[in-house]
């Protein structure tokens, strides 16, 4: 498909569309990574017909605590950057 044959307005529209799709793909990829990581941490027994209450809670907590950890590390780095020890 040759995008150069499209008029300017359409090309701009497509560029914006692609950016949105790329952002969407990044979110999806994060969710896949979190799913794998949290599955490995939380689902240790042989899969049954439903999750136990604790497995379900663990999966949700895993996501929130991962994001907390990530924010904690960012704050830590910024502290060190703005308050050099000497």
DSSP 35-66: HHHHHHHH--SPP-SS--HHHHHHHHHHHHHH
d(CA 27, CA 11) in angstroms, rounded, equals 24
- Closest approach of other proteins to the CB of residue 84, in Å: 27
Site for other proteins contains 53 (CB under 8 A): no
In 1-86, where do the E strands start and end? none
Cβ nearer to other proteins, comparing 17 with 77: 17
Site for other proteins contains 39 (CB under 8 A): yes
Distance of CA 49 to the CA centre of its chain: 28
Q: What is the DSSP letter of 49?
A: S
Site for other proteins contains 56 (CB under 8 A): yes
Task: Give residues in contact with other proteins (CB under 8 A).
Answer: 1-3, 5-7, 10, 13-14, 17-18, 21, 24-25, 27-32, 34-36, 38-40, 42-43, 46-51, 56, 59-60, 62-64, 67
């Amino acid at each position: 498909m040759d995008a150069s044959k499209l008029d300017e307005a359409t090309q701009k529209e497509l560029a914006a569309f692609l950016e949105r799709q790329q952002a969407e793909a990044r979110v999806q990829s994060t969710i896949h990574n979190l799913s794998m990581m949290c599955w490995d941490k939380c689902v240790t027994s042989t899969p049954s017909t439903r999750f136990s209450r604790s497995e379900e809670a663990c999966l949700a907590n895993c996501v929130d605590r991962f994001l907390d950890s990530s924010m904690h590390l960012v704050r830590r780095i910024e502290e060190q950057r703005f308050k050099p020890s000497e």
